[in-house]
Amino acid sequence: MNGALDFYYDFGSPNAYFAWKALASVTERTGIEINMLPVLIGGIFKSTHNQPPWMAYRNVPAKLDYERLEINRFIETHKLTTFKFNSAFPVNTLLPMRAAMAAQRAGVHDVFLPAVFAAIWEDDKNISQPDVLAAVLTQAGLDGEALVAATQDPQIKQGLRDATAACVARGVFGLPSFFLGDDLYFGKDRIWQIEQALKG
pLDDT score at 55: 84
pLDDT score at 52: 83
pLDDT score at 200: 78
pLDDT score at 2: 57
First-last CA distance in the chain: 6
- Tell me the pTM: 0.94
Pairing type for strands 4-9 and 177-180 reads antiparallel
Q: What is the DSSP string of 31-75?
A: --EEEEEE--HHHHHHHHT---HHHHTTT-HHHHHHHHHHHHHHH
Q: Exposed (0-12), middle (13-18) or buried (19+): which is 75, by Cβ within 10 Å?
A: middle
Q: Which residue positions in the chain have pLDDT lower than 50?
A: none
* Span 55-98, pLDDT tens digits: 888 899 999 999 999 999 999 999 999 999 999 999 999 999 99
E strand or H helix that includes residue 177: strand 177-180
Each domain of the chain, given as residue ranges in start order, spans 4-199
pLDDT score at 1: 52
Q: What is the architecture, at CATH level 2, of domain 4-199?
A: 3-Layer(aba) Sandwich (3.40)
